[in-house]
């Protein structure tokens, strides 16, 4: 804090703005990590590319919004309600739509899951529009817009909570996957599902639970998005960020997601600072292309 204070006093207005934009970048980055989490888990375990994950996040955001509107439940604790609900939704989606893909080769799993989830991506936002109109909504709580002010360095509570939540959720998932028997079996299935079956692991059940967990994880960024403002169109904007973060982290890497999200957030922030807000998406995509060319395995991805 001391060094920051020094910069504040002696630094130019530019340095101040730079740091401000940088910290906003990191806060968006934490959210990027969270939105990619479920998608990455599902893709890593069973090679299903669920492009409807973003639409599910938006649906989660709407549920959060209505829970707040109707019963005054704050978005953060509302995760505790939406998470199990989404887990059940994930089980239903898997049983009804995705289970049949299990027998396919990896390439066919990707293609067919893409088709099915694209269908969901088309249906969900329209259902949201029909149910709740296309109006922009946002949860406005007592802490919305409130900031911690450190000598002019302004950090919004929501952003700080996002960073804390991202760290906690990714750490919890890491512990689940490395410390529990079931979590380890998920990793075993993702590395070699056939061999996992020969070890006595129920592969279809592992697929089903992992898929449902992936959907349930959409509830967490959903709550944060509800605080920032939502409309049905966001369902189409999110897959972009999700896929970039998944590639940056390395396909199937959960541990790399936070770093990848933060990196994307930071680079976007730099783009805003040096080039202007219009270039925010462009620099993100540029980073994506650079990774594809020079480091396709991602930050901590598997070597192939």
* Interface positions with another protein (CB under 8 A): 181, 184-185, 187-188, 191-192, 194-204, 302
Nearer to another protein, 61 or 186 (CB): 186
Write the CB contacts of 202 (distance below 8 Å, at least 6 apart in sequence): none
Nearest distance from residue 99's CB to another protein, in Å?
A: 14
Nearer to another protein, 30 or 196 (CB): 196
81: tokens are 């309600």
Residue 103's CB: how many other CB atoms inside 10 A?
Answer: 9
**Is 199 buried (19+), middle (13-18) or exposed (0-12) by CB count in 10 A?**
exposed
> CA-CA distance, 291 to 298, in Å (whole number)?
7
Nearer to another protein, 11 or 204 (CB): 204
CA distances 185 to 143, 181, 205, 210, 246, Å, are 41, 6, 11, 11, 22
Nearest distance from residue 113's CB to another protein, in Å?
A: 22
Nearest distance from residue 96's CB to another protein, in Å?
A: 21
Nearest distance from residue 210's CB to another protein, in Å?
A: 16
Nearer to another protein, 73 or 188 (CB): 188
CA distances 171 to 25, 53, 101, 175, Å, are 21, 21, 30, 6
Nearer to another protein, 136 or 192 (CB): 192
Residue 159's CB: how many other CB atoms inside 10 A?
Answer: 22
């Amino acid at each position: 804090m001391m060094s920051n204070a020094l910069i504040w006093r002696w630094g130019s207005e530019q340095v101040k703005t730079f740091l401000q934009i940088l910290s906003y970048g990191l806060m968006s980055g934490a959210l990027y990590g969270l939105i990619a989490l479920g998608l990455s888990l599902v893709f890593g375990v069973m090679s299903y590319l669920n492009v409807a994950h973003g639409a599910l996040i938006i649906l989660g955001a709407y549920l959060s919004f209505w829970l707040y509107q109707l019963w005054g439940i704050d978005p953060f604790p509302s995760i505790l309600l939406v998470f199990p609900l989404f887990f059940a939704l994930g089980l239903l989606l898997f049983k009804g739509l995705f289970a049949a893909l299990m027998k396919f080769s990896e390439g066919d799993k990707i293609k067919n899951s893409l088709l099915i989830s694209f269908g969901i991506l088309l249906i969900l936002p329209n259902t949201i529009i029909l149910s709740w109109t296309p109006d922009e909504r946002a949860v406005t709580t007592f802490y919305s817009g409130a900031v911690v002010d450190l000598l002019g360095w302004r950090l919004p509570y929501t952003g700080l909570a996002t960073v804390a939540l991202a760290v906690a959720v990714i750490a919890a998932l890491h512990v689940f996957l490395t410390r529990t028997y079931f979590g380890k079996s998920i990793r075993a299935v993702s590395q070699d599902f056939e061999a996992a079956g020969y070890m006595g692991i129920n592969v279809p059940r592992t697929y089903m639970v992992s898929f449902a967990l992936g959907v349930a994880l959409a509830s967490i960024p959903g709550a944060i998005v509800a605080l920032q403002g939502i409309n049905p169109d966001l369902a189409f904007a999110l897959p972009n960020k999700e896929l970039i973060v998944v590639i940056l982290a390395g396909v199937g890497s959960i541990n790399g997601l936070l770093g990848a999200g933060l990196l994307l957030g930071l680079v976007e922030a730099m783009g805003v600072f040096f080039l202007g807000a219009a270039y925010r998406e462009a620099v993100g995509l540029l980073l994506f292309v650079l990774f594809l060319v020079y480091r396709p395995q991602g930050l901590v991805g598997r070597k192939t």
